[in-house]
A and B are shown apart, each in its own frame.
Chain A
Amino acid sequence: MMKRDECFRALARQLRAEIVLPVYSSAFDWLEIAPRALNYFAFGAMGLGSSHALGLALGRPDRRVIVLDGDGSLLMNLGSLVTIGAVAPKNFVHFLCRNGSYEANGGHPIPRKEVDFSGLAQAAGYAHCVDFDTLAKFESALPQLLKQDGPIFATLHIEKGALSPEFNYRSLEDPKRRQDFRAALRG
């Protein structure tokens, strides 16, 4: 098992001009670790992160799009795996933070913790699917993961727990963040 913040710190060290779309608990951790103009936040419709990311990947094929999804979130939009597998954007990287719980909604368990998400993504048509449960393996695989053609899916087996237990959505929903994101994309 890994800690989410350690995974994110490892990822942040590798990034250049990629778009990063973190959802719910991941968003608060990611913002603390990597506050960048190329972060895209969308709340209020849980599960849609992968769909937003697909739109970004199609709209900006010149940029790599990384979605930091949650297991509870993805379960609300499992069909998006099939849509993404069919469209097959090469610039799409899907990291799934798997902790078996709806962390942002009180920490309740997902209906079945044993779900093989990487297996689902493989069956849906993702080009590369992999699981990580140690930081060392994740860190050493990251450079290649961020280079190879997608869509790529990686399940990160993490412990429960966010850096910020207080989720201040108002801060992340500030329209200025979307304006800054659009400006950064055009810059």
Chain B
Amino acid sequence: MDAAIATKADAAVLTGAKIIAAIKQSGVKFVLAVPDIVTSKGLLFPIADDKELKLVRVCKEDECVGIAAGLSYGDKRALILIQYTGFLDSLNAIRAVAVEYKQPIVMMVGLLGHEPERQPAESGRYGVRIIEPICDAMGIPHHFLSQDADIAKIKPAIDKAYSESSPVAMLIGRRPS
């Protein structure tokens, strides 16, 4: 990588407060989460203190998929906040509930170990590299969030998931500040 690109990439930031604002603007009332060190400080701790969001701490990530589906029948929007390892562990639930049953399952997935200056498909970490191809194979739209400019993708993605009753994955490529 040349120095100019590296400097630009290193200067990029992803602001947790802006992500949370976008989540709220999308009508999300519930956040369903298993802690992930990528999003722990910038998202999960602030969300836990946020009185406008109800945080449900679950034991295992696939629980989130069932809970989000149930909430949707009460017209309540939910965001699932997990690490990519939990996403991989939940693939059958996502396949059955989100894809085959066409439920609005909105996932924000921390890419632990990802190099923020790269695209996920170019990551040196195998587990990160396979996330987008898996989403593609399952027909799950995905968006990469690695800098503040990407936060604009959040509301349209959530609105689309709920209007079309379909899943979406937003991949967090750097630790939100």
Q: Which residues of A are in contact with B by a Cβ distance under 8 Å?
A: 40, 42-45, 48-60, 77, 79-80, 82-83, 86-87, 173, 175, 178, 181-182, 185
Contacts and interface: CB of A to CB of B under 8 A. Distances in A.
Interface in B44-99: 54, 56-60, 62-76, 78, 92-93, 95-97
B101 A59 contact: no
Contact of A45 (B56, B73, B97): B97
A49 B30 CA distance: 19
A83 B93 contact: no
Nearest to A50: B66
- Please classify how large the interface on chain B is, using the bins under 10, 10 to 19, 20 to 34, 35 or more: 20 to 34
Given A59-B71, A83-B57, A51 B65 contact: yes
Interface of B is mostly: helix
Given A42-B97, A44-B97, A175-B102, A52 B70 contact: yes
A5 to B, nearest CB: 26
Contacts of A60: 73-74
A121 to B, nearest CB: 14
A80 B56 CA distance: 11
B122 interface: no
A182 B63 contact: no
Contact of A59 (B58, B59, B76, B95): B76
Interface of A is mostly: helix
Contacts of A54: 56, 63, 66-67, 70
B3 to A, nearest CB: 48
Contacts of A178: 101
B63 A80 contact: yes
Given A58-B70, A59-B76, A175-B102, A83 B56 contact: yes
Given A54-B66, A55-B66, A59-B73, 13 more contacts: A44-B100, A45-B93, A45-B96, A52-B69, A53-B70, A54-B70, A55-B71, A55-B78, A58-B54, A58-B56, A60-B73, A80-B58, A185-B73
